[in-house]
Amino acid sequence: MKRRTFIMTGTALGATMPFARIARADGAISWWYETATPEQQGIIARDIVEPFNAAHPGETLAIDYRGDQLDNQLRIAMLSGTGPDIVYTAGPAYVAPMAHAGQLLELDDFAAQFGWNDRILPVFLEMGRYDGKLYALPKTYETLGLFYNASLLAEHGWTPPATIEEMETLADAMLEAGILPFASGNAQWRGNNEHYVSLALNSIAGPENVYKALKGELPWTAAPFVAAITRLNDWWQKGYFGPNYFSISTEQMVVELAAGRAGMMPSGTWQFENIPTYFTGDGPEAGFVGFPSLAGAGDPIFPLGVGSTFSIAASSQNAGGAAAVIDYVFSDDAYSRLNTDWQGEWNMPLADLSGVTLGDGVLPLYTQAMQVLAQSVSENEYGYTTWTFLPPATDSFLINGIEEVWLGRRTVEDYLQELDDTFRQEMGEGKVPAVPAR
């Protein structure tokens, strides 16, 4: 207990404070970043730090890599008022409590000064509001869809599915051919479970119902959600996810898809990072479509996700400098550089991409998918990812509890009942993130 206590309450506090003070003492604009490989750190230095410093004489941007402990360290440091200038949260769910606690600076004046209200897609500005005031901007937005092995499908005379029913027919055919329908897995990251729940909720229950549930107007135990989770469970029981789901890591999913051992991969746009590695020049070709909706329900729905956000600490002594950094990240120049060098990670929600120029090496499939996504968002045809719009304990239960359904330890109804109970409690505590009006 003593060691655990120390880890939980003491280490982060002790470890973060001295560094925070040092970062501020040298006058630099401080920004704590998450895990990044040396190559990725090189991209950030080349595409953000160097151009920003060059364009802003007198200001110095200093990025400190905190690894996967960023979230814990940031929360403790913010509590003690010693965090970085640029607050890089793990998602909108963290913005409301931080804003409520007075740890974040209102950004409305900066938004007016820098023209963010015109430059950023309105729906994302809404997600960063608390009590009507702007506190956060999304670093990147992402969505879920259906990757597939185009070469494998062509070889068998199959076509990418346009409806859920077509997808199930295709999956059954794959099973008969000895091919795993879904390249999927959650080894090393159990959070992958929620990708499939998000898809089922949005594509089967529908985004309107999800919106109502997020606003507390419809319980999560309502019939559309029972139907959605029941269908997801049916897919599991039929073997669409395969026998090795709990053994396969996120990257191994792509390996299975590229090797033709699996035919489809329901996953997020972040997988575009891995596609060029495994779908190489002479090898199989990858494809990507929106995850299909029920027959007659219209176009595929793209559940919208925001993985992390930018805010400015209320205690920042250089708020203007921090705002200038955020403004640079949302510039055409930074978008072009970052999306050329590091696809899938820096998809800032710019309203107009006409000033963006991507390099020749960018995967055409990625460019095309991002254009379709931006178009869908601008036409309000989007859904809701659970990790962006659910409060923390509800999301945590959604991830872990679905395994109990899949493994026959709980019924769909019991699962949704506990999900609803947890959601109601967190809603009462004001923890539900902002949900943009449809």
Partner 1 sequence: MHRLFVLPTILINAVIIVIPALFTVALAFFRWDGISAPVFVGMANFHALWGDRVFWTALGNNIIWTALFLTVPIGIGLVVATMLLVARRGAMFFQVIYFLPMVIATVVLARVWQGMIYSPISGVNGMLQRMGFPTLDPLTQPSTALYGIATVDLWHWWGFLCVIFFAALRQVPQEQIESARIEGASFWQMMRYVLLPGIRPTITLMMIMTVIWSFLVFDFVYILTQGGPAFSSEVLSTLAYRSAFYDLAVGKAAAVAVVISVFGLAATAFYIRVQGREFEQ
Chain residues binding partner 1 by CB under 8 A are: 1-6, 8-10, 71-72, 75-76, 78-79, 94, 97-98, 100-101, 103, 186-188, 190, 243-248, 252, 255-256, 392-393, 395-397, 400, 403-404, 406-407, 409, 429, 431
| In the complex, minimum distance from the CB of residue 252 to partner 1, in angstroms, rounded to a whole number | 6
Pick the closer one to partner 1 by CB: 9 or 357: 9
**Which residue, chain included where needed, has tokens 């940031």?**
74
| In the complex, minimum distance from the CB of residue 366 to partner 1, in angstroms, rounded to a whole number | 26
- Distance between alpha carbon 415 and the CA centroid of its chain, in Å? 24
Pick the closer one to partner 1 by CB: 135 or 288: 135
- Of 368, 338, 391, 273, the closest CA to residue 139 belongs to 338
| In the complex, minimum distance from the CB of residue 87 to partner 1, in angstroms, rounded to a whole number | 12
Pick the closer one to partner 1 by CB: 127 or 253: 253
**Which residue, chain included where needed, has tokens 């997600």?**
127
- List, in order, residues 6 or more apart from 206 with CB less than 8 Å away: 224, 293, 297, 301
Using DSSP, state whether 331 is helix, strand or coil: coil
CB 166 within 8 A of CB 292: yes
Pairing of strands 29-33, 61-65: parallel
- Cβ neighbours of 317 (radius 10 Å): 11
Pick the closer one to partner 1 by CB: 200 or 248: 248
Phi and psi torsions of 182, nearest 5°: -115, 120
Pick the closer one to partner 1 by CB: 166 or 404: 404
| In the complex, minimum distance from the CB of residue 218 to partner 1, in angstroms, rounded to a whole number | 23
| In the complex, minimum distance from the CB of residue 161 to partner 1, in angstroms, rounded to a whole number | 26
**In sequence order, what E strands does 160-235 have?**
180-182
Which helix (DSSP H) or strand (DSSP E) does residue 361 occupy? none
Pick the closer one to partner 1 by CB: 168 or 256: 256
Pick the closer one to partner 1 by CB: 172 or 251: 251
Pick the closer one to partner 1 by CB: 56 or 100: 100
| In the complex, minimum distance from the CB of residue 2 to partner 1, in angstroms, rounded to a whole number | 5
* CA distance to 16, 84, 329, 349, 355, per residue, from 373 (Å): 38, 32, 20, 10, 18
**In sequence order, what E strands does 218-271 have?**
262-268
| In the complex, minimum distance from the CB of residue 165 to partner 1, in angstroms, rounded to a whole number | 29
| In the complex, minimum distance from the CB of residue 343 to partner 1, in angstroms, rounded to a whole number | 26
**DSSP label at 249?**
-
CB 163 within 8 A of CB 290: no
